[in-house]
Chain A
Amino acid sequence: MSDTATKNPLLLATIRVTKDIVYRDFPSETVVLNLQTGQYHGLNPTAGEMLAALDETGSVEAAAKQMAERHEVDVAAVLADMCALCEKLSERGLIEIEPAASQ
């Protein structure tokens, strides 16, 4: 486990896109739609790519690693941005964060 993981439980959590949330990648943004409320949310292309990586991997660390490799950037920088995004997505009910069992 990294040092960051000991400080931020988000890195050990399981991430799921909330049921009834769908998203589509448009040329200029990713549009996230809550099928129950009809509310749309717009994400810039980087945030949209992060959401897709979170959806695919279910893990902040794995998603950050995937993004870092794809864009050849430092994983620590991606992790910080990814954690910030997760908090915003969670506040809007777009993802669910399930803490690790030991937490």
Chain B
Amino acid sequence: MITAPALTRHRLSAFGLEIESDWPLSGTTPCPPGSGTRLVELPPDRMEAEWQQPAETVFEPAYPDGVRRFAVERDIRQYRLWFADEGRFLVATDGKMVATEAGAADADSLERILLAQVLPFAAALQGYEVLHASAVAIAGGAVAFAGPAGSGKTSLAARLALRGNRLVTDDVLAIERRGDGLVCHPGPPLMVLAASDLDVDALGTVVGSTDKLHVAVAPAEEPQPLRTLVYLERGERLELSALERGDTERALSSFFAPYLATPDRLRGHLDTALLLSDAVRQLRLTLPRPVDFDAALDLIAREVR
């Protein structure tokens, strides 16, 4: 991958990474060049040249309508991530370099995909365990919500933030095994949520939009020990139950980018799932539709003190 020079960079700490971007993102601060994970922009012809290199398909999900929306390929130096609406990205195999294609998407769409997909991908390549989860700091530890898209991860985390708790991350959670436990690294200072979801002005400042609002919310400043993991699922009635013996299958299915199935990552998933089982309280929350979030948060508040 070819890097573009930049005398001033913009630093962002997220997912355990110190990211140095060639352009400002939400929450970045100017900085001199350092040794962080580089985020650069390539002109379309340079990106196209990179894309012409021989590569193998790593993952390409099949959608019911047959339309291609997302693909991951790998060539000798890097992964190539293609999104139908947000353009093309290169991520070095060690995760320490990310390149976007200049002009491929509007700034808000680009920022959303970078923060929600591409940088977490880089974090995974750098050895962090990454979960599909939102998390909030409560009483000195993190409570994380894991579940599929639309299950309520962001809605619960945002409402907990409105109740005075510090956001750890929205939608993607980077964790790290430390000793006998797991710590959660704060995500970027941004939540992406539906306009009708809640009082966004009370939560933070709207800084952009795609099909949802982008709200600047300052996350916790330090990594937080992961104390509770709540698996979200739909159900007929609101119910929170403790999984006394954990839920290995749910834990293993909660990892981000499962198609990155290298032996080291697979072993890391298994060891992380074991630590989740040993050191993290696991709960299951069933949410009927429409969701009574206040009632759900009251249930959670009784379990997590």
Chain A contact residues, CB within 8 Å of chain B: 20, 22, 24, 26-29, 31, 33, 35-36, 38, 40, 42
Contact = CB atoms under 8 A, between A and B. Distances in A.
Contact of B263 (A24, A35, A42): A35
A24 B271 contact: yes
A84 B263 CA distance: 29
A29 B270 contact: no
| B258, B271, B277 interface centre (most CB from chain A within 10 Å) | B277
Contact of B270 (A20, A33, A36): A33
21 contacts: A20-B263, A22-B267, A22-B270, A24-B270, A24-B271, A24-B273, A24-B274, A26-B248, A27-B277, A28-B246, A28-B248, A29-B248, A31-B248, A31-B270, A31-B273, A35-B263, A35-B266, A38-B258, A38-B261, A38-B266, A40-B252
Interface in B261-305: 261, 263, 266-267, 270-271, 273-274, 277
Nearest to B244: A27
The interface residues of chain A, by DSSP majority, are classed as loop
A35 B263 CA distance: 5
Identify whether the interface residues of B are mostly helix, strand, loop, or mixed: helix
A40 B258 CA distance: 13
Interface of B: 245-246, 248, 252, 258, 261, 263, 266-267, 270-271, 273-274, 277
Contacts of A28: 245-246, 248
B266 A26 contact: no
Contact of B266 (A27, A29, A33, A42): A33
B182 to A, nearest CB: 15
A32 to B, nearest CB: 9
B263 A26 contact: no
B248 to A, nearest CB: 5
A24 B260 CA distance: 21
A26 B267 contact: no
Nearest to A31: B248
A26 B261 contact: no
In the A-B complex, the 8 residue pairs with the closest CB atoms: A35-B263, A38-B261, A27-B245, A28-B245, A24-B274, A26-B248, A26-B277, A33-B270
B96 to A, nearest CB: 24
A89 B273 CA distance: 23
Nearest to B247: A28
A9 B120 CA distance: 51
A103 B270 CA distance: 38
Contacts of B245: 26-28
